[in-house]
Amino acid sequence: MEMNMTEAEHHEIHHGEVAITERVVNFAFQMAITVLAIACPCALGLATPTAVMVGTGVGYKNGILIKGGEALEKAQKIDCVVFDKTGTITYGKPTVSVFQILTSKMPKSDIIRIVGSAESQSEHPLGTAVCNYAKQELKTEVVEKISDFKAVPGSGIECTVASKHGVLIGNRSWMTSNGLKITKDVNAMMKQHEELGRTAVLVSIDGLLCAMIAISDQLKPEAQQVVHVLQKKLGCKVVLLTGDNQITAKAIAREVGIFEVFAEVLPTHKADKVKDLQAAGKTVAMVGDGVNDSPALVTADVGISFKTGTDVAAEAADIVLMNDNLEDIVAAIDLSKAVVRRIKYNFVFASAYNVIGVPIAAGCFVPIGFSLQPWMASAAMALSSVSVVTSSLLLKKYTKPFFDSSWKKGDMLKEDEVLIQTGRNFIDKIATSLANISEKISNGSNNIVGEKFASLPNTCEGEKNEQIARIDGTLVESRDEKEYLLLDAQNDSDSETDL
């Protein structure tokens, strides 16, 4: 009879309960080894780093340098894109369109020479444009000696040329804060150029307002289409953040299709505007290329700069676009979404192996005759890692979003479609200006100015109601947030500038 027994039955008869215990322990140990092998989290550990590594490589091949996985992960959450103007929306290579002389007391060549010499010390793109214009007009590289040079961000410059000419170059507020009078004709001339998207600056030499310079910077041809894609297809809020005056900023915004603008923002305040947007619950991307954009680039959730920009901006940014093309902003966001989507797929693959494989490896299906050997579990574990890596490598097939070259430029936005907000506090500006004016008024008038200024109503930044305060023949006007200081002193004849 024993000859017809199986080995297991023979072992059980001769060894009894010891044989059964040995079989149980053997089975449990085998299942434990199998579970340990198939549950190894190699695939889960590879899911994210492999996708990020391939994604950053693909980005670089497409001209998008992404500094690490954190920037890549945050970029797919962006719902607000803030653009600087000069060098971002525009090419950042401004040129002088108009050099209008406002006085007959000095030859034009002398004015150009003095202005060109003063701007030779400026690092601002507009200053460079004026300096280049002067050299081209005078056909010389020689500049006068400059001393006491001072640049005030967002306002203008002040210096002494050839040790005898006191020079001021800048915007309206810079001139008025230094006690100069801007006539209605000059203001209207500046406004005309600003409505064309140009930047208008004034020149004062030895206390005489003698020139108005209109500087233009060509818009990038893809700007309007990129803004349209960000707003309509990606659902992002787009904001223009610039130090330019409100008229120029509004003209640029209308042309490219941006509905919200922060104008006249000092470089030191750009980061504050980004924080305001973040406080409103937005995930903000800041796009800029200048030194003055660096604080905002660091403050934003994702800072985006260009290789063609300054080294400081490129260092501060999380993403650097190797090509000076705004379309790559859309590509960076799209690539980020593709990488994060691939990471999620990888986690699904890795988890699926464990969800399905662990119960089988644990012996749950042994009663129906189905089980895994340890070597099978090891092979399944290796296969899960291979599948995750293969999934990540599929990112190499990524292509940038297609921009239709035949896309037709849309119509400009209407005046009332663009919301303009100023970056300066109205009351602070008036207080500074009146303080300078009061120094030039007689002692008797000083008290009147102080009393009347104290009676001015509180005005919050951004209010659009027209505010007019007339103080001793001086008109302080802020209409629809256009904060101009028109100084009509005593007699019109005294305030007129030679044209």
Catalytic residues, by residue number, are 84
* Whether 91 contacts 220, CB under 8 Å: yes
Within 362-403, where are the H helices? 374-393
Q: What angle do CA 318, 320, 325 make, to 5 degrees?
A: 135
The amino acid sitting at 156 is: G
Q: What is the largest CA-CA distance in the chain?
A: 136
What are residue 470's DSSP bridge partners? 475
H or E element that contains 199: strand 199-205
* Whether 64 contacts 306, CB under 8 Å: no
> How far apart are the C-alpha atoms of 252 and 197, rounded to whole Å?
6
Residue 40 dihedral angles phi and psi, to the nearest 5°: -60, 125
* Whether 471 contacts 425, CB under 8 Å: no
Distances (CA, A) of 301 to 295, 328, 460: 12, 18, 28
3-state helix, strand, coil in the chain (%, to 5): 50, 20, 30
Give DSSP secondary structure letters for 330-354.
HHHHHHHHHHHHHHHHHHHHHHHHH
What are residue 298's DSSP bridge partners? none
Nearest one of 462, 81, 75 to 256, comparing CA atoms: 81
Dihedral sign from CA coordinates of 108, 113, 114, 120:
positive
Residue 418 tokens read as 């663009």
Give the contacts of 282 (CB within 8 A, at least 6 positions apart).
79, 80, 237
> How far apart are the C-alpha atoms of 316 and 295, rounded to whole Å?
8
The amino acid sitting at 335 is: L
